[in-house]
Structure 1
């Protein structure tokens, strides 16, 4: 009910003729319904207030039903296990509508509890008001809700004064005072666009006083790996894959596969479950056409319409270019071909990368990477970097060593072994910790041709140019090694005023050590070819 001030009387609102007042039991009060079925019945009792379907009663789609059944599933005691639910899909697939109905379900529907607190969260005041406005539009059209719920539009608050006493408020990340909350249910709209996790953490950590609290995030993917939404998606993917056991967390994830053709309708459908229903196919076709004609819009199209984690800022190697170079590498066939190597020695607890490149008669290169990490806190590193280090180790893509620091002796012995098999023409290295590596190589009698390779523009710019040219021309084969592919997806460049480039770890979204080592190896190969081409001239002189 609308209140005009302290002690003001309720303002009666015109009822929607679609939803007549009735003394009959509500549909969700029927016997034999599961908890999820009661939620669905409540949502389907409410009207659609806007769009092409305005004036009809809401109908839960099969894909929405699957999400709701997963979230509101109960154990043998009838208790809901899920505490955090994430629904990620492309824009314009009805996220706000679903969020509004779920909030109402916990305010005055079958999930309402005595003196509950329900919140909708967003990144700014305007966005925070969208769910509130949709809830109010529904209340205005449903007589029994009109009689029960007080609306305070100026403060974006509701109160179920005719029932449980549950309160609702719309919160935005730009409002400072949010502590002291005790939410029974909260919904975060478009967390993927939030640069900070402060509001999310405030709500998530405030639920401890409730018996069965629920937090729901409904959002497209974030563009960067280090965003709060990315952490939730990555964790949910691991839960869904069985790598992590956590019955309190659920992820429903609609995204287009990275390798799929972004201009195909089937690809659009993967990220847009409502496509052709209430998500306009014509609109997606329009946006796809613009992205094809204007490459600057492709990253935004992939992020917002295909729900892919794609940063609109300049990425060094795009996913399609990298995947075009993903042909398998036959290690047994490489012996006898010119072999060049690049070594990126990390700090004692970080990722160390060694990449060998083998040139063929057509000027193309096969890349064979090796990676090392300490083994002691590998699972903690997974949580920090949000990648499956344990699985990569178990599948042989990552080498680990006992302890909490990288042992240079382990790396040195592998370098000596590989040099003995393939005979490096050069091993390009950064000065960082190289003296430890020199000492270990000398201790085992390995005579490896080490070539210093600076990490500044002078050495890295030509190496970057070679890597880019080979990738664009599909003259690089890397076999889609998962760790190297992860590094490639993270990498970004920076340029000096003259246009020289280098990989920039500060701008990149994750570890790039593997791509750095690959660039160094290819740079060493290019330098070796130039020196060979000039050597006859030197002899003549």
Structure 2
């Protein structure tokens, strides 16, 4: 029978300083044997080279107990086949992970078993290897039992011939790797951005299936931008298992604040009193004083640096990834989300609507933004969608997983032929026209031709389609949008696609004006955001509301 690995009271456990590993029917002898082996390993880069028993955190010993105490000693069947540990930086996760893999190598009973530990960059892989090799070389018994091959970053058990290889994350190499013992992936959020990372992960999992004792472990910090690809998928799986929303053989150990605290408008997470709750190695590899100093430096630098600091040291999840020269409106984007606004709801609530369109080349997204004025509050509501040709996925392989996520959300449509995108845009605009709410459609004059033809064919009056000047002439729309976001009078549908675009936007001064251009954004896409600015330009002209049925009934009768 599968074990229940949920930990529904995780927040109260964090507040009470209790373990995030729930009570499990572990094989106690196996669990404690693993802890004894782990505790004897030494830290080679710490003065005095203390043992893990002296310097290690109890939080990680709980993980060791669970991972090795979940293997049936009679059948070798593993009840916990995976681990997802979300741990902030400076909590010894790379070192602990490396020593976990050394423990696995020492306890392994399968001849010539294969173990792999990967990290996204060479420096981190070297750190992991140095921790493992250093612990072995400091122990005369281990030094005789294990053969360290420094030039290959490989450790071989002399008796079982089992092998632990520590390497940088390379999907092409991992795809063909024999992993019969276990694998550990460090910093999954970085690995997830690599092309073919999903394929490599599928191969690792598939290769482990014949081996009942094999395990897969992820030990990672939060991403410094919105989670994407396999990182977003595995993190959500871990949260769902933790919260009892799904079953699985993954042990979730997530040091993070509840969603409402992370998104609190008064930013409660900035209080140092809360930081110990998500800092499991506090007092060992990190102190609150060092965190406070780092925090203050980041806060004094910029909002960008503060958010990055919070993502890495508090595991705060970022929805909008800010950067140097970021658009000011991006800072308020998350706070102005009204999740679930659909096009139909927007049309129901608004008295007049403007549409913006931008992009559409082979190397671009085609962006559509609908901006409506609420008939009750007069706040502005925004809904967006984008279209992409498969060639964009090929030309922007680094963003392919992100685009697939947006497509799954329904915010990005992947078309097979150029032309389908324009037709679908025209159909949506025609729907708005039929509602009687459409004021104007604003388009970049450089791309007016094909769009104008499609709109006319769909029944949108030609005089409602206008060119919106780009470059510095969009300054007014850019400033209007950021001001209304800051005032709390512009609300959007909380679409991850638009959060990404808002975070990608870079501002450049041009005389007394500012510009946001695709060139400044580089490979990151902003087409739907530019479409929004086109629509904002039109809505800023304060178009008259469409006549209502009440207006019609009040109008004088003409004989």
Settle same-fold status: TM greater than 0.5: yes
Aligned to 1:418: 432
Counterparts in 2 of 1:433 and 1:52: CA distance versus 1, 3 Å: farther
Partner residue of 2:38 out of 43, 46, 67 = 43
Whether the aligned pair in 2 keeps the contact of 1:461 and 1:500 (CA below 8 Å) is yes
Aligned to 1:289: 296
Residue 369 (structure 2) pairs with residue 366 (structure 1)? no
Rounded Cα–Cα distance in structure 2 between residues aligned with 1:460 and 1:289: 36
Whether the aligned pair in 1 keeps the contact of 2:386 and 2:528 (CA below 8 Å) is no
How far the C-alpha of 1:528 sits from its partner, in A, is 6.4
How far the C-alpha of 1:285 sits from its partner, in A, is 1.7
Counterparts in 2 of 1:35 and 1:320: CA distance versus 1, 3 Å: farther
Residue 356 (structure 2) pairs with residue 356 (structure 1)? no
Rounded Cα–Cα distance in structure 2 between residues aligned with 1:201 and 1:327: 31
Aligned to 1:17: none
Whether the aligned pair in 2 keeps the contact of 1:373 and 1:400 (CA below 8 Å) is yes
How far the C-alpha of 1:423 sits from its partner, in A, is 3.5
Task: Render the CA deviation track for 1:24-73: whole Å, top value 9, x for unaligned.
Answer: xxxxxxx9448666644543454566479945616663576368747985
Rounded Cα–Cα distance in structure 1 between residues aligned with 2:175 and 2:204: 8
Whether the aligned pair in 1 keeps the contact of 2:224 and 2:312 (CA below 8 Å) is no
Residue 182 (structure 2) pairs with residue 164 (structure 1)? no
Whether the aligned pair in 2 keeps the contact of 1:100 and 1:135 (CA below 8 Å) is yes
Aligned to 1:100: 98
Counterparts in 2 of 1:71 and 1:107: CA distance versus 1, 3 Å: closer
Whether the aligned pair in 2 keeps the contact of 1:371 and 1:399 (CA below 8 Å) is yes
How far the C-alpha of 1:411 sits from its partner, in A, is 4.1
Residue 494 (structure 2) pairs with residue 481 (structure 1)? yes
Partner residue of 1:301 out of 297, 300, 309 = 309
Aligned to 2:553: none
How far the C-alpha of 1:152 sits from its partner, in A, is 4.9
Where 2:355 maps in the other structure, the secondary structure is strand
Partner residue of 2:508 out of 459, 480, 495 = 495
The structure with more radius of gyration: 1
Rounded Cα–Cα distance in structure 2 between residues aligned with 1:237 and 1:325: 25
Whether the aligned pair in 1 keeps the contact of 2:336 and 2:491 (CA below 8 Å) is yes
Rounded Cα–Cα distance in structure 2 between residues aligned with 1:453 and 1:40: 67
Paired residues for 1:12-51 under 5 Å:
32-33=27-28, 39-40=34-35, 42-44=37-39, 46=41, 50=46
Q: Which has the higher contact order (CA 8 A, sep 6+)?
A: 2
Whether the aligned pair in 2 keeps the contact of 1:490 and 1:509 (CA below 8 Å) is no
How far the C-alpha of 1:500 sits from its partner, in A, is 3.6
Rounded Cα–Cα distance in structure 1 between residues aligned with 2:415 and 2:29: 50
Aligned to 1:231: 229
How far the C-alpha of 1:517 sits from its partner, in A, is 2.3
Aligned to 1:57: 53
Rounded Cα–Cα distance in structure 2 between residues aligned with 1:502 and 1:319: 12
Where 1:387 maps in the other structure, the secondary structure is helix
Aligned to 1:24: none
Counterparts in 2 of 1:276 and 1:323: CA distance versus 1, 3 Å: farther
Whether the aligned pair in 2 keeps the contact of 1:315 and 1:493 (CA below 8 Å) is yes
The worse-fitting range, judged by mean Cα deviation, of 294-303 and 343-352 is 343-352
Aligned to 1:10: none
Partner residue of 2:405 out of 387, 410, 426 = 387
How far the C-alpha of 1:252 sits from its partner, in A, is 4.8
Counterparts in 2 of 1:278 and 1:239: CA distance versus 1, 3 Å: same
Counterparts in 2 of 1:452 and 1:130: CA distance versus 1, 3 Å: same
Task: Render the CA deviation track for 1:246-300: whole Å, top value 9, x for unaligned.
Answer: 9687765444555242412466456534446754222212222222222263243
Residue 151 (structure 2) pairs with residue 145 (structure 1)? no
Where 1:150 maps in the other structure, the secondary structure is strand
Rounded Cα–Cα distance in structure 2 between residues aligned with 1:180 and 1:443: 53
Counterparts in 2 of 1:80 and 1:326: CA distance versus 1, 3 Å: same
Counterparts in 2 of 1:431 and 1:255: CA distance versus 1, 3 Å: farther
Aligned to 1:428: 442
Rounded Cα–Cα distance in structure 1 between residues aligned with 2:403 and 2:199: 23
Give the gaps of 5 or more residues in structure 2. 1-25, 391-398, 544-559
Task: Render the CA deviation track for 1:457-508: whole Å, top value 9, x for unaligned.
Answer: 1444442232223333444233x53356534444322537656412427837
Aligned to 1:6: none
The worse-fitting range, judged by mean Cα deviation, of 302-311 and 269-278 is 269-278
Whether the aligned pair in 2 keeps the contact of 1:158 and 1:168 (CA below 8 Å) is yes
How far the C-alpha of 1:385 sits from its partner, in A, is 2.1
Where 1:57 maps in the other structure, the secondary structure is helix
Aligned to 1:259: 263
**Structure with a larger share of its residues in helix:** 2
Where 1:324 maps in the other structure, the secondary structure is helix
How far the C-alpha of 1:450 sits from its partner, in A, is 1.3
Rounded Cα–Cα distance in structure 2 between residues aligned with 1:64 and 1:351: 51
Whether the aligned pair in 2 keeps the contact of 1:115 and 1:165 (CA below 8 Å) is yes
Rounded Cα–Cα distance in structure 2 between residues aligned with 1:409 and 1:401: 13
Rounded Cα–Cα distance in structure 1 between residues aligned with 2:496 and 2:118: 36
Paired residues for 1:392-403 under 5 Å:
392-393=409-410
Give the gaps of 5 or more residues in structure 1. 1-30, 530-541
Where 1:96 maps in the other structure, the secondary structure is helix
TM-score (norm 1): 0.68
Partner residue of 1:322 out of 333, 340, 344 = 333
Whether the aligned pair in 1 keeps the contact of 2:365 and 2:525 (CA below 8 Å) is no
